[in-house]
Structure 1
Amino acid sequence: MQGAAAAVNGKDGASSIRPPPPRLLRPLLLVAVLGTGFLAVVALLLGGGSSTSSSLLPGLSAASASPRRPQHQHQQQQACAGSEAADAASPALDRWTRAPASAWHNMSDEELLWAASWQPLAARYPFRRTPKVAFLFLTRGPLPLAPLWDRFFAGAPRRSLYSVYVHATPGYRPGFPPSSAFHGRLVPSQAARWGEASVLDAERRLLANALLDPGNGRFVLLSESCAPLFGFPAVHAYLTRSRHSFVGAFDDPGPNGRGRYRPALAPEVRRRQWRKGAQWFELARGLAVAVVADARYYPKFRDHCRAPCYADEHYLPTLLTIEAPARIANRSVTWVDWSRGGAHPATFGEADVGEAFLRRLTATAQGNCTYNGQPAEVCFLFARKFAPGALRPLMQLAPKLLGYG
């Protein structure tokens, strides 16, 4: 021991330093052993948390941050559409990415809209994320086509790809079984009367509730009479891969268009900016946040757009034409039949729904449209209005003609 010490000290030019007395070696060795053990424990603890820390860096997903996963298993998980872990954020981000346990809450509308208007300014997510589609059902009460929708949702590769919200007449208590996608998805609501601004309030309320789940990336408004025309994977891909939101907006110079304009809407909205469109919209998350946070145009429509001015037909088309015209596809993804005239589109009952009818909806009735700037064969993903009696033929024909069930 002394020779070794002398060699080391001689190398540093300090050979005059003497080794410690023998009676001090045992305590020093004991301290060295304990210190080494403590450092080993600290290293293990820090090593175990390294994947969590690295997953917070921009561009890294929770899956790629795990050093212990075999390479082939990691590749399989990336390719597997059914993997829940592939879209999960790190535990450190859990509180920011977790969806609310229930659609029900005790917030007032003012509190709800405020909470829903939060959004991160960073454009890039620090984990791999597959956006969910939020299906927003605006209904007076029962959902007669719910069994058909449950079959549609059953075709999702995993439950985390969608969420459901139902705004119904206050006091309505649905009896959906736990296995249904509609179970527990009723949101706190207020009365919504056709032709009044309360319908627009209900739409904003649905959007706000869905925005509380940070996983929702696309938001589609539906009624109890809507039915999906394609299987879930096709619908999800169509919406989440689109560079535009699906809101129709056109300038109608007639009495049902510009004739509904109110001068009190100025200066926020001029007559030349006035637009009309379908109530049934689809929005990307950024535009949905803008709608619930809007304090410039919404009060004007609420106070001055009254029958025969209908806010639900003019608010979104006008707002988005003014503020974000390049971000909308200027069409809806919900098909309706106005050929019979009147204030409401045609309703289809049991006798109307057959193979020829559904083939027309999924093929020839699609019309000409563009998708991401290119001509598209599919323009509509949903159709309305179906009467409750149409459920039976829809359930029978969906597996063969619609791709689900």
Structure 2
Amino acid sequence: MKNQYQNPLGSLVKLFNAPTQLVNFLSYMLFFACGLTCGIILTFHVKRISFNLQVSSSSLSPTPPPQLSIPPMPELSKANRVGLKEFLKPTNVMHDMEDEELLWRASVTPKILEFPFDRVPKVAFMFLTKNSIPLAPLWEKFFQGHQGLYSIYVHSDPSFNGTEPDESSPFYGRTIPSKEVGWGNVNMIEAERRLLANALLDFSNQRFVLLSESCIPLFNFSTIYSYLMNSTQNFVQAYDLPGPVGQGRYNRKMYPPIAIQQWRKGGQWFEMDRDLALEVVSDKKYFPVFQRQCTGSCYADEHYLPTFVSINFWERNSNRSVTWVDWSKGGPHPNKFIRTDVTEAFLEKLRSDNKCEYNGNSTSTCYLFARKFLPNALDRLLRFAPKVMHFN
């Protein structure tokens, strides 16, 4: 009879003696060991991360982030408001722009033609001078009482350090940044373009007239303002002149942008509208040709604008100037007028003894300005101007 109670140790030995059961046991033990190891490693890393976060938190907590103090937005009133009209109207003609920057800024023009405010068109009077304007007292009488209808720009030699006009003068603070001008060469055209560019910064300027320090007005302000604002054309003198002082100044290297048949001559004293002024300061085709090729006896100031306008805008040009000069004595320069030349009869003759075309009709009012009047003629001009030109 077998023993009813078997030996436990023997049973365990039998278990290990079975190959399949031994493999299963070892697998369980290996799995258990791997799990235990992973648990220990994970616990260690969790404790370290928690410790680092506590250290970081404790180190930052004593220094709270700074509180930004944002000032309240100021209330805009009519007194300090900078509206569109004020933004577009430069209060000071002085700036530090280089010519390239100035010309680019001046060439900017809106695509929307209607202005979003009431705009009074102005005439820009641009004085190209060597030094001061000796006939300024006459011009001051001319401008008197017409504020808001004109702008003044003065381009003088940068070395000129004369006395600034009185604050009551319309010339006060109207001198633009200038460069040295070589009269007759391409620097003269650069100065004219510089004047135009500065005047174009004011969107209210619609007509632009170039004057010298020896120019005088022949009519009162209202007459000249109406004449220019109602004009359908520009006033750039341009004509084809054979001979050495005309076509003889043409340089064959200017071809093909400029052909000899397109070469024109004229006076430098012009008047033009805003559209043409924008084209002049934006010109990158013809002006560089003059810079490179119009040298020596080629006087750029007598040929650039007449040629440029005739090639591109001949239908909008009157081919005449509104500034009278006297070439009757011949020579390279027009006649100069001194004190004794100025009489009432002489001024009246300049105002009406002419025939020309204006807006398609014949007229005797052809010249609005005249030159060259010397400084010693000022006292007689001041005496006769109120009577002849109907100032005030």
Q: TM-score, normalising length from structure 2?
A: 0.77
Match of 2:138 in 1: 148
Count of residues in correspondence between the two structures: 311
| 1:403 maps onto 2:390 in alignment | yes
1:228 to 193, 211, 217: 217
1:275 & 1:349 partners in 2: Cα distance? 32
Match of 2:119 in 1: 129
Q: Is the 8 A contact 2:85 2:117 kept in 1?
A: no
Tell me the secondary structure at the aligned position of residue 264 of structure 2.
coil
Q: Which amino acid aligns with 1:368?
A: K
| 1:391 maps onto 2:382 in alignment | no
Q: Is the 8 A contact 2:325 2:370 kept in 1?
A: yes
1:211 & 1:242 partners in 2: Cα distance? 19
| 1:270 maps onto 2:225 in alignment | no
Q: What runs of 5+ residues in structure 1 fail to find an aligned partner?
A: 1-89
Displacement of 1:130 after TM fit?
A: 2.8
Taking the TM superposition and a 5 Å limit, the aligned residue runs for 1:236-385 are: 236-364=225-353, 367-385=354-372
Displacement of 1:155 after TM fit?
A: 4.1
Q: Is the 8 A contact 1:208 1:292 kept in 2?
A: yes
Tell me the secondary structure at the aligned position of residue 160 of structure 1.
coil
Tell me the secondary structure at the aligned position of residue 194 of structure 1.
coil
| 1:182 maps onto 2:182 in alignment | no
Tell me the secondary structure at the aligned position of residue 125 of structure 2.
strand
Q: Which amino acid aligns with 2:84?
A: L
1:195 to 184, 198, 201: 184
Describe the superposition over 1:192-245 as per-residue Cα deviations: whole angstroms up to 9, x where unpaired: 011211111110000011111111001000000000000001111111111111
1:175 & 1:347 partners in 2: Cα distance? 27
Match of 2:151 in 1: 163
Q: What runs of 5+ residues in structure 2 fail to find an aligned partner?
A: 1-80
1:377 & 1:360 partners in 2: Cα distance? 10
Q: Which amino acid aligns with 1:332?
A: S
Match of 1:43 in 2: none
Match of 2:98 in 1: 108
Describe the superposition over 1:33-80 as per-residue Cα deviations: whole angstroms up to 9, x where unpaired: xxxxxxxxxxxxxxxxxxxxxxxxxxxxxxxxxxxxxxxxxxxxxxxx
Q: Is the 8 A contact 1:275 1:314 kept in 2?
A: yes
Q: TM-score, normalising length from structure 1?
A: 0.75
Tell me the secondary structure at the aligned position of residue 356 of structure 1.
helix
Q: Is the 8 A contact 1:250 1:275 kept in 2?
A: yes
Displacement of 1:176 after TM fit?
A: 0.4
Match of 1:93 in 2: 84
Tell me the secondary structure at the aligned position of residue 248 of structure 2.
helix
Tell me the secondary structure at the aligned position of residue 279 of structure 1.
coil
1:201 & 1:91 partners in 2: Cα distance? 33
Displacement of 1:93 after TM fit?
A: 3.1
2:86 & 2:136 partners in 1: Cα distance? 32
Tell me the secondary structure at the aligned position of residue 148 of structure 2.
helix
Match of 1:77 in 2: none
Describe the superposition over 1:251-310 as per-residue Cα deviations: whole angstroms up to 9, x where unpaired: 101211111111111111000000111100011001101101111000001111113111
2:390 & 2:190 partners in 1: Cα distance? 34
Describe the superposition over 1:150-203 as per-residue Cα deviations: whole angstroms up to 9, x where unpaired: 0000042xx111000000010323420001110000000000011211111110
Tell me the secondary structure at the aligned position of residue 331 of structure 2.
coil
Q: Is the 8 A contact 2:157 2:181 kept in 1?
A: yes
Tell me the secondary structure at the aligned position of residue 114 of structure 2.
coil
| 1:213 maps onto 2:202 in alignment | yes
Quote the RMSD (CA, aligned, Å): 1.4
Identity %: 52
Q: Is the 8 A contact 1:155 1:404 kept in 2?
A: no
Q: Which amino acid aligns with 1:259?
A: G
